[in-house]
Homo-oligomer: A and B are copies of this chain.
Amino acid sequence: MDKYNVVEIKEDITSRNNLFAKEIRKKLAEKKVFYLNVMASPGSGKTTLIVELLKRMKDDYKIGVIEADIDSSVDAETVSELGVRTLQMHTAGACHITCQMSYDALCALGYEDLDFVILENVGNLVCPAEFDTGATENLVLLSVPEGDDKPKKYPLMFRVADVVAVTKTDVAEVFDFDAETAKNNIKMRNEKATVFFLSAVKNDGVEELEKYLRTAIERVKNA
């Protein structure tokens, strides 16, 4: 049960995709834009965290947000209320964002004058990890209710993460979630990932991730 057509097709698509991703990263670097790809399961708190980060950073940087969704515009409505430049991308059933989709969205948003672009990927802990979007960094969320074992079961997602935010820590006791186990499971997949623990709803721990992102934005600006 090791090889199926679908895997071979995917390999072909991803290799083409990776070539184009490098080009996007080059363009972004030239324009000094930090592009963050946010990936996670459905309902892990991506939009809530993005909204909290926007509130804290939108007065200091020119920020744009690309909301990817299969069908609805729920998240774009939430985000645009903050007065941040927002684009809703409908994937028409697709479970991930390819490089081409990512670049089309960047152009439709207008990225060249921005400091910081956030892509909220489709809620999916599997497929988006296979497609490099051309982002400067990948932020992966793991929400407490999902369980501390998830990095064991979804290896690639945690392998491609530059930063992991464990979200909804305010309910850790209700769900018998062990932070140390979670951290070890993440590190097992990816030693280099920076890990933050936070609750966006309770506004607890977000400042550490904010600091990390501010440093990253400044690094890109001054490169």
Interface residues of A (CB under 8 A from B): 1-7, 9, 13, 41-43, 69-72, 74, 89-90, 92-95, 98, 100-101, 104-105, 122-127, 130, 143, 145-147, 149-150, 152-156, 168, 171, 174-175
Q: Which residues of B contact A149 (CB under 8 A)?
A: 74
Query: In whole angstroms, how far apart are the Cα atoms of A9 and B11 in the complex?
Result: 13
B98 near A4: Cβ-Cβ < 8 Å: yes
Provide 21 A-B residue pairs closer than 8 Å at the C-beta atoms, listed in order of the A residue.
Answer: A1-B89, A1-B101, A1-B105, A4-B98, A41-B41, A41-B123, A41-B146, A43-B145, A69-B153, A70-B156, A74-B152, A93-B156, A95-B95, A95-B124, A95-B126, A95-B127, A124-B125, A124-B126, A145-B145, A145-B168, A145-B171
Which of B4, B6, B90, B153 is within 8 Å of A123, CB to CB? B153
B100 near A4: Cβ-Cβ < 8 Å: yes
